[in-house]
Amino acid sequence: AQKITQTQPGMFVQEKEAVTLDCTYDTSDQSYGLFWYKQPSSGEMIFLIYQGSYDEQNATEGRYSLNFQKARKSANLVISASQLGDSAMYFCAMRANFGNEKLTFGTGTRLTIIP
């Protein structure tokens, strides 16, 4: 079974500062993927970034980067130079690369950017 833990229910960050959202995971699969999604107050889920378990480099997408530490089973999302529009819920999720394709989600972190 897979499990995702997000220990920060809420965070407040000053605009333009960097922010790290924590995610730890547990799985017995050897090959898996980790995903981060953003959910604004309007409700849609927006895919941000993906990290494969065998990827040697940390994934980056614009202002988003994923700090992947496989031995510690952590996959933290880093947002550089935060903006007011970054205020949202953020979900970490994982999926085994073989077998069924379902995602297991964490409980989310609500990020609020303060002007």
Partner 1 sequence: DVKVTQSSRYLVKRTGEKVFLECVQDMDHENMFWYRQDPGLGLRLIYFSYDVKMKEKGDIPEGYSVSREKKERFSLILESASTNQTSMYLCASSSRQGVGLPQHFGDGTRLSIL
Q: Which stretch binds partner 1 (CB under 8 A): 13-21, 29-37, 69-77, 78-86?
A: 29-37
Strand 74-79 to strand 64-69: parallel, antiparallel, or no bridges (unpaired)? antiparallel
Residues 68-107, interacting with partner 1 (CB under 8 A): 91, 93, 97, 100-103, 105-107
Question: DSSP states of 25-81 as a string?
Answer: EE-S-SSEEEEEEEE-TT---EEEEEEETT-SSPPEETTEEEEEETTTTEEEEEESS
Interaction between residue 50 and partner 1 (CB under 8 A): yes
CA-based angle 67:98:23, to the nearest 5?
25
- If the CB atoms of residues 56 and 115 are measured against partner 1, the closer one turns out to be 56
- If the CB atoms of residues 43 and 62 are measured against partner 1, the closer one turns out to be 43
Encoded tokens for 27: 């799985």
- If the CB atoms of residues 78 and 103 are measured against partner 1, the closer one turns out to be 103
Q: Which residues bind partner 1 (CB under 8 A)?
A: 4, 9, 33, 35, 37, 42-45, 47, 50, 52, 91, 93, 97, 100-103, 105-108
